[in-house]
Amino acid sequence: MKFQLVVLSGTPGTGKTTVARTLSGIMDVKWVSLGDLVRDKELFLGVDTERGSLIADVDRLIPEIGRLAEEAEGRLIVEGHYAEVTPKDWVEKAIILRTHPKELWRRLAERGWSEGKIRENVQAEILGVCTYNAVEAYGWELVYEVDTTSKTPEETIKEVLEIISGGGDKYRVGRISWLRQLEKEGELEKYF
Ligand SMILES: Nc1ncnc2c1ncn2[C@@H]1O[C@H](COP(=O)(O)OP(=O)(O)O)[C@@H](O)[C@H]1O
Ligand SMILES: [Mg+2]
């Protein structure tokens, strides 16, 4: 392993930035938000006008993550909803934050986002897109999921620390399925 990075991914609103910031302080390890990095260093190909977001230039972003990791002597928390672009041999663990669609909708509405943008992100959360992408990039062994729904940020950080320190077996991928849950609650149609 070239570096020992902690990758923190999840749909927007699941709590990545909140968790990364505090975790960084507790672990005394630097953190980087890929969204901020792309914006600040202009590592984008263009603007997605429909979504009002930047289209990351991954080919330039990856070496930049590498430079920051080098500077941080191999220890870094990398946070972003496409953080699985971080190469596998740099990654110690990937932790995906998950949030029940109803609660995620509430958090994103608080940001003043349009219904269309909220729906698109909530649908991605229901389908587990970030988890899928992380598993595809790293394999099941490196990927963990934490449910933030009825937790405080402090409780979530505690669970993330548990995973990082090696006690993460109960956070393995497979437990969280919003599809299953919404079907049980009779709420699935509401989101599609
Ligand atoms: N358990 C939790 N973990 C993290 N954030 C939470 C949690 N519960 C509620 N929140 C709130 O959800 C919001 C998440 O926002 P943010 O950290 O910016 O998410 P992201 O970076 O994933 O888009 C914050 O307002 C945070 O206070
Ligand atoms: Mg964020």
Closest ligand to the CA of 21: 1
b/e sequence 136-161, b meaning 16+ C-beta within 10 Å: ebbeeebbbbbbbeeeeeeebbebbe
Residue 141 has a pLDDT of 97
Q: What are phi and psi of 139, to 5 degrees?
A: 85, 160
The string of pLDDT tens digits covering residues 92-108 is 999 999 999 999 999 99
Point out which residues pair with 146 in neighbouring strands.
97
148 Cβ below 6 A of ligand 1? yes
Give the separation between CA 149 and CA 48, rounded to whole angstroms: 29
The string of pLDDT tens digits covering residues 63-119 is 999 999 999 999 999 999 999 999 999 999 999 999 999 999 999 999 999 999 999
The string of pLDDT tens digits covering residues 29-66 is 999 999 999 999 999 999 999 888 999 999 999 999 99
Asked if 14 and 125 touch (Cβ cutoff 8 Å), the reply is yes
150 Cβ below 6 A of ligand 1? no
Residue 43 has a pLDDT of 98
Q: 107 C-alpha vs ligand 2 centroid, how far in Å?
A: 12
Q: Is 95 exposed, middle or buried (0-12, 13-18, 19+ CB in 10 A)?
A: buried
Q: 104 C-alpha vs ligand 1 centroid, how far in Å?
A: 9
5-191: CATH architecture: 3-Layer(aba) Sandwich (3.40)
Q: Assign 3-state DSSP to the chain and report helix, strand, coil percentages, each to 5.
A: 55, 20, 30
Residue 183 has a pLDDT of 97
Give the separation between CA 167 and CA 151, rounded to whole angstroms: 19
Residue 114 has a pLDDT of 95
Q: 18 C-alpha vs ligand 1 centroid, how far in Å?
A: 5
> Beta strands 44-48 and 53-56: pairing type?
antiparallel
100 Cβ below 6 A of ligand 1? no
Mutate to test the pocket of ligand 1, among 11, 18, 129 (most ligand atoms within 8 A of CB): 18
The string of pLDDT tens digits covering residues 126-178 is 999 999 999 999 999 999 999 999 999 999 999 999 999 999 999 999 999 99
Q: 158 C-alpha vs ligand 2 centroid, how far in Å?
A: 19
DSSP class of residue 82?
T
Cβ-proximal residues to 133 (8 Å cutoff; 6+ apart), any chain: 9, 82, 84
Look up tokens 């507790």; give the residue: 26
The confidence band for 1, taking pLDDT boundaries of 50, 70 and 90, is confident
Q: Relative to the CA of 110, which ligand 1 atom is closest?
A: 25
Q: 171 C-alpha vs ligand 2 centroid, how far in Å?
A: 22
Asked if 54 and 61 touch (Cβ cutoff 8 Å), the reply is no
Closest ligand to the CA of 10: 1
The string of pLDDT tens digits covering residues 18-34 is 999 999 999 999 999 99
